[in-house]
Amino acid sequence: MTTARKNLANAIRALSMDAVQQANSGHPGAPMGMADIAEVLWNDFLKHNPNDPAWPDRDRFVLSNGHGSMLIYSLLHLSGYDLPIEELKRFRQLHSKTPGHPEYGYTPGVETTTGPLGAGIANAVGMAIAEQTLAAHFNRDQFNIVDHFTYCFLGDGCLMEGISHEACSLAGTLGLGKLIAFWDDNGISIDGHVEGWFTDNTPARFKAYQWHVIEHVDGHNPEEIRAAIAQAQTVTDKPTLICCKTTIGFGSPNKAGSHDCHGAPLGKDEIAASREFLNWPHAPFEVPDDVYKGWDAREPGARSQSQWQHLFQEYQQLYPELGAEFQRRVIERALPDSFAEKADLFINICQQQGQHIASRKASQNTIEVFASMLPELMGGSADLAGSNLTLWSGSKGISKDDADGNYVYYGVREFGMSAIMNGISLHGGFIHYGATFLMFMEYARNAVRMSALMGIQNIFVYTHDSIGQGEDGPTHQPVEQLANLRMTPNLHTWRPCDTVETAVAWKAAIQRQDGPSALIFSRQNLDHQSRDTQQVENIAKGGYILTDCDGEPEIILIATGSEMSVANQAAQLLNEADHKVRVVSMPCTNVFDQQSKSYKEHVLPKQVKTIVAIEAAHVDYWHKYVGSYGKVIGMAQFGESAPGADLLKHFGFTTENVINTVIDLKQQNMAL
């Protein structure tokens, strides 16, 4: 290895230890240990253009061990991205472009938010699925307009997390040959040497997953690293794991190889000693011009992108329809011009038909119509397709032998599915929906949160939405999950009450590009609700007046999903008894909260004190709407195992209980 190449890697080490020291916070060990691997990958193999971080056919790079964030910040800065040295000096400071863990949208060149260990490798699997499937959709002879690798760095912590098993097992089954992962085998985690708690035979594990495994690579020997990557690129029918033996904190004379450099600054004295050891006689944050020149990827990146652009222009001439579709789906990420109009037509048909079916079936009917308009719509389910009803007549499973499909059979992998969905969305070219029971959102919770945090489009489909599913019992009956989802910032959670609201929810989720949506559907049949044209339009506002009384209301009932019928029946009887009752449907509280003050006041006027919310979910969420004078008919305990109708009656979701609650509450409020 030449001195010049050593200095390229040492620049990463110096910037990483300087930034962590200045912030007095961070993880210098991983960047220093993986610097040699990163230098070879980025300078000899990675296809990217710092001037255009969103170039569609760039290679993707994911730092799954995201605590080592100064590694990727150093790489981005050195190779020419819009990440000036001042931002590295502001590592982990408020509003800097160098947050504590890599965050999508903050830093140009960061492909995904990584922090929760194992999530990054799952995201990388999703990106590789998207690349493989998109290539099958668009590539033609001599025109491989989709042809890039997904590279992922991961550490022992990522491999200990169960999500790595879920995602990597599926990656092997699908034969994702463009996925190359680098295991930073340094034997250290926060608590010390990992042999006390992590003795897996990792190469054997990945061979069992049907990965190509390259063992015993010296992570500080550029020639071995280079040979391993070159070999990995030739294996097209399997993902590859390159096992790199490294020393954490390489270059630190006294702390390398120990957990002392994992999650804390090296200290000024040790940094000085490291500079001497590495023969790096430069001041903090000082990088020599020749090192910058050695790293600069702007010119070769622009050249690679120009070559691709020329290929794509020829492709557009030979395949104009495919070229236009690629431009729309991948480059512009736009829906077909006719989608909104056709979706509205279907919504109006649903209103006219008035079907009495479960909302999960209404969801399947909607998918059938919308998917025929949207070739980018990709589906999936965690081994529950027959229960979630996520398949439509045009569904075709993606497989190792045939990637030209639009549906992922995820198996029982709720967490892996959701994190893989994040990777597919981040890659681009698809709108992805993935399904499981609402109860098992708990397995996937972190990935759902990460989708909302990143502000990326995903459609999480959750069926079997309440105690109303019955006999499976409390292990399968969600209670607190709806509140959990609704309280997640930037997540739109829809619980429709019939076929019409279901179609509107799907339309909203498909049109939304700045965050994910959760669609909550019932197992049991739901009554159709009568509406006029304006009411149908108002569904998209998240909450609206479904039925009203003559004059100003004295009582308001709020309901969602299957409880809407109970609310309407109670309102009808109360109005007949001269109580002025309004029924408000609130399919998406998150969207309703975003409406104007005047609209919200119109739907829920402040002068009405007697407000009752009715939902077979946790009571606490609804107090923000009913206020101190209102009441919630909901769940404050787990369910039971019994037929669904019996459970709903047992827990008070009956017309009689609603009426009694309203009358008692009205009397109490009148006495105040």
The reply, when asked if residue 188 is annotated as ligand binding, is yes
Tokens read off for 332: 């512009």
105 is in an annotated binding site: no
618 labelled binding-site residue: no
262 is in an annotated binding site: yes
CA distance 422 to 442: 17
Cα distance between residue 408 and residue 583, in whole Å: 40
Q: How far is CA 469 from CA 46, 87, 358, 478, 525, in A?
A: 50, 53, 11, 10, 11
Which residues face 195 on adjacent strands? none
Q: Among residues 166, 414, 563, 615, which one is catalytic?
A: 414
User: 264: which DSSP letter?
Assistant: S
On whether 348 is known to bind a ligand per the annotation, the reply is no
414 is catalytic: yes
Largest separation between any pair of C-alpha atoms in the chain: 91
Cβ-Cβ contacts under 8 Å for 661 (sequence gap 6 or more): 612, 631, 633
**Is position 216 annotated in a ligand binding site?**
no
Please check if 582 is assigned to a binding site: no
**According to the annotation, is 510 in a ligand binding site?**
no
DSSP 8-state code for residue 140: B
Task: Tell whether 427 is in a known binding site.
Answer: no
147 annotated ligand binder? no
For 474-492, the three-class secondary structure string (H helix, E strand, C coil) is CCCCCCCHHHHHHCCCCCE
**Phi, psi of 66, deg, nearest 5:** -65, -15
Angle, in degrees to the nearest 10, between helices 29-44 and 3-23:
140
Write out the two tokens for 48.
Answer: 């990217």
Q: At what angle do helices 499-511 and 339-353 cross, to 10 degrees?
A: 170
Name which of 634, 607, 605 is nearest 618 in CA terms.
Answer: 634
Q: Which tokens hold the place of 129?
A: 């699925």
CA atoms within 13 A on the CB side of 245: 6
Name residue, tokens 């063992």. Answer: 215
115 annotated to a ligand binding site: yes
Question: Was 476 annotated as part of a binding site?
Answer: yes
Question: Has 532 been labeled as part of a binding site?
Answer: no
Residue type, 278: L
Q: Give the three-state DSSP class for 406.
A: coil
**Residue 466 known to bind ligand:** no
Q: What is the rounded distance in angstroms from the CA atom of residue 412 to the CA atom of residue 600?
A: 41
Does the annotation list 117 as a binding residue? Answer: yes
Known binding residues: 27, 67, 115-117, 156-157, 186, 188, 262, 360, 387, 440, 464, 472, 476, 523
Known binding residues for thiamine diphosphate: 67, 115-117, 157, 186, 262, 440
Known binding residues for Mg(2+): 156, 186, 188
Q: Which are the catalytic amino acids?
A: 414
Known binding residues for substrate: 27, 262, 360, 387, 464, 472, 476, 523
